[in-house]
Amino acid sequence: MTRRSEPFLVAAVQASPVFLNRDATVERACSLIAEAASKGARLVVFPEGYLPGYPFWVWFIPSGNTRELRVLYAELLDNSVSVPDASTERLCAAAREAEVTVAMGINERNSEASGATLYNSLLFIGPEGDVLGCHRKLVPTVGERIVHGQGDGSTLQVHDSPVGRVSGLICWENYMPLARYALYAGGAQIHVAPTWDRGEPWLSTLRHIGKEGRVYVIGCCSAMLRDDVPDDLGFKEEFLPSGMEWINPGGSAIVDPDGKWVTEPVMESQEILYGEIDPGLMQGPRFQLDVAGHYGRPDIFQLTIDRSPRPMVRDAPPAADEAIEPDYN
């Protein structure tokens, strides 16, 4: 695949979804993809759980309030996506029309099994409109565990694209050093980190990953107002303080392979952030530090990754015929 040798732009979409409305959020995402592409972006990154919205209520509603949590889970499930389905096909078409690579946080149904469990996933789409991969978050963070299931190692991959080799981990997965190392060893050059987290120490983590992995890092967070939550969702009045303006103020940012800001964090603003990527910095700094290369010590430390898919149901192989022919000799 031909890669760009000249500097190019990437984009972090710090926006709110049309909360819990899959179809409207898909259309908003397609419009934002087109807008970012019109400004010259070749890689467009969306926040964690952007489609159809991060289930932030897990941080506001006590886990014992099963009545409200059931209602919200059913709404989220009804508006989530399978890969592939009509929603992902629409996103793929938008990426193809704009000729950009897209990384988008989604709530993904386990369509391969019950269809009633959700994963916190990161969908990668190439500029030709093909699905490059879909990573399921390995460990949902604290309250997320009442909404999302656990992914497996099969989706821990680095994806080739015209802008370079792109990897991604979701929010606090980025605190998992072995997961990061697996992606460094896969040749990651641009690392995307969609998140709901913001401020410190998260922003220091983005800079650390850039320096440690010698990768560009695109941190992308939703900027969401209380007014972005529909009034017909009952938990809004009961659990979101009336004086609250920002549910999440954002804090998206872009970091270079030296751990320096390309685009500094932006707070309390719904906008698209842009940053310039210099392909020369994807390789040059590694002469000093390449943690999955000359700065590694495989004679001392080794990482074993099980990338086997872990389906909920496995069909056993047909039983071998155990009949033994009698020996009359």
Number of H helices, E strands in the chain: 6, 13
Give yes or no: 171 in active site: yes
Active-site entry in 48, 108, 144, 173? 48
Report d(CA 286, CA 303) in Å as an integer.
Answer: 20
Is residue 42 classed as helix, strand or coil in its secondary structure? strand
Nearest to 136 by CA among 82, 198, 100: 82
Nearest to 166 by CA among 215, 202, 206, 204: 215
| 15, 224 contact by CB (below 8 A) | no
Give yes or no: 48 in active site: yes
Report d(CA 233, CA 239) in Å as an integer.
Answer: 11
**Separation of CA 290 from chain center:** 24
Nearest to 49 by CA among 195, 228, 175: 195
Angle at 54 between CA 100 and CA 88, to 5 degrees: 40
Measured CA distances, 9 to 218, 240, 262, 279 (Å): 12, 37, 11, 11
The amino acid sitting at 191 is: H
- Alpha-helical regions (H) of the chain: 22-38, 66-78, 86-98, 177-185, 202-213, 235-239
Active-site entry in 30, 137, 144, 221? 137
Report d(CA 268, CA 287) in Å as an integer.
Answer: 39
Report d(CA 270, CA 16) in Å as an integer.
Answer: 7
Q: Going by DSSP bridges, is the β-strand pair 164-168/159-161 parallel, antiparallel, or unpaired? A: antiparallel
Active-site entry in 30, 92, 134, 171? 171
Residues identified as active-site: 48, 137, 171
